[in-house]
Structure 1
């Protein structure tokens, strides 16, 4: 999910916390050239801007993961970092952020952290997600944990995909329109994508083109919905949630999407 408007208020107001934050951050250990924790330092300490990055880190094998932006904040760039956030960053080996969250670099700079700043590609497409998990595991030095997660993921994803295909109305793949950051859920359902939109609001020209595809479902992004996308088209709109919960488990994202899709297909 993209969030492009960024607000960085009150970072200067946090300067009083810098001495505390930086004092907690230097334990004398220097990361290796590839960013992995040095020998003897143990498992990596990871700070993630949101639960999405945090879930990728956990899937890759990180166990000590701190999330800065609470799950209740639907628009992460609006979040005002607290002194405790700076303290957490100062003690981290890695700080994970998404390209649309440029304030992450400012948080790291403000805290004086020596952590490696890692840009994460947030996409729940199964192939892209597993590739990102592998990349992070290489940085963390946790490839075995990542391999175990991927094995469990493949089993669960396959079962969800099979269950959704069995629920196709009339035994035929449903035609869908997907917001660009929910296309992964169409793939999960084995649906036929006849058009995509977003992240900007749908224009009249786009509306006409999307309607012409005669979709039965519209897969909207629950975190940045622009309202009813195809009014009067007869298509059922389904809100797809991209962000994991506070348990930092990616699998429920797929389970919940599958449940919503199965319900929508049954009603279509």
Structure 2
């Protein structure tokens, strides 16, 4: 009788262990499935690279440079800022960022370093989003984002064109990184300045062209670009400031340019 009881208890214990093991395996498969569904872990040097990654379909994105930093390329990461790099699947950076070397040094053998072409010109940006989508294995999501982007971009461009003074394309001088905004607005570009500090000679030359507007870069602002000129300065953002939404850059440009043209 005692032997039967021990055998029965053994069978119960074995069944419990098997059940626990089965749950653990199922949980493990669920966790792996969830990770695969959400895509790779991406570490982005700044919110600009993060926005490209999100557009490409990545959902697990860690940003190194805090959003409060006005000019990300000048940021000097602390060792604690770089701790996430070693656990990343991909690390995104731009060559012009002064701390790019530190990111490379912090990356482990697992992480794939990817230099991102941070250019907001429509065609260049879309090409980069597709490239990242192919790397991440999220090309379907990237294509979906681009389709939605093109729809929104078309609406923004139409709204800006409707505000053209006298129905004519505005004449502008642009900061070197604001070409995307001039493209969105359909503006006639009379000249470009930057990214180096503008010289007195450039101020005189650009002012002589009689632009209606100056498309400035608020992340690299040095104050009034063409002092003494009648041109209205519109300072625009070059990368997402409070979120990781790449489309917010274009919305910001359309809103501010339209408001300036309405007077």
Give the TM-score, by structure 1 length. Answer: 0.81
Identify the residue that residue 5 of structure 2 maps to in structure 1: none
Cα deviations by residue, 1:38-83 (Å, 9 ceiling, x for unpaired): x997221100010000000000011110001011101224433234
1:179 partnered with 2:188: no
1:143 partnered with 2:139: yes
1:95 partnered with 2:65: no
Q: Using the alignment, how far apart are the partners of 1:139 and 1:147 within structure 2?
A: 13
1:73 is aligned, of 65, 69, 76, to 69
Cα deviations by residue, 1:213-233 (Å, 9 ceiling, x for unpaired): 210000000001122111111
Give the stretch that moved more between structures: 101-110 or 205-214. 101-110
Q: Does the 8 Å CA contact 1:89/1:108 hold for their aligned counterparts?
A: no
1:160 is aligned, of 134, 156, 167, to 156
Q: Does the 8 Å CA contact 2:216/2:233 hold for their aligned counterparts?
A: yes
How much does 1:235 deviate? 0.2
Identify the residue that residue 234 of structure 1 maps to in structure 2: 230
Q: Which has the higher helix share?
A: 2
Give the TM-score, by structure 2 length. Answer: 0.82
1:193 is aligned, of 185, 189, 192, to 189
Cα deviations by residue, 1:130-159 (Å, 9 ceiling, x for unpaired): 011011111111110000000000000000
Identify the residue that residue 107 of structure 1 maps to in structure 2: 103
Once superposed, what is the RMSD of the aligned Cα atoms?
1.8
1:130 partnered with 2:147: no
- Kindly report which structure 2 residues correspond to 1:250-265, keeping only aligned pairs within 5 A, or say none: 250-265=246-261
Identify the residue that residue 82 of structure 2 maps to in structure 1: 86
Larger radius of gyration: 2
How much does 1:124 deviate? 1.1
Considering Cα pairs closer than 8 Å and 6+ residues apart, tell me whether 1 or 2 has the greater RCO: 1
Runs in 1 of length 4+ with deviation above 6 angstroms?
A: none
1:44 is aligned, of 40, 43, 51, to 40
Q: Which runs of 5+ in 1 are unaligned?
A: 1-38
Q: Using the alignment, how far apart are the partners of 2:198 and 2:250 within structure 1?
A: 26
Q: Using the alignment, how far apart are the partners of 2:201 and 2:75 within structure 1?
A: 35
Aligned length: 229
2:212 is aligned, of 193, 209, 216, to 216
Q: Which runs of 5+ in 2 are unaligned?
A: 1-32
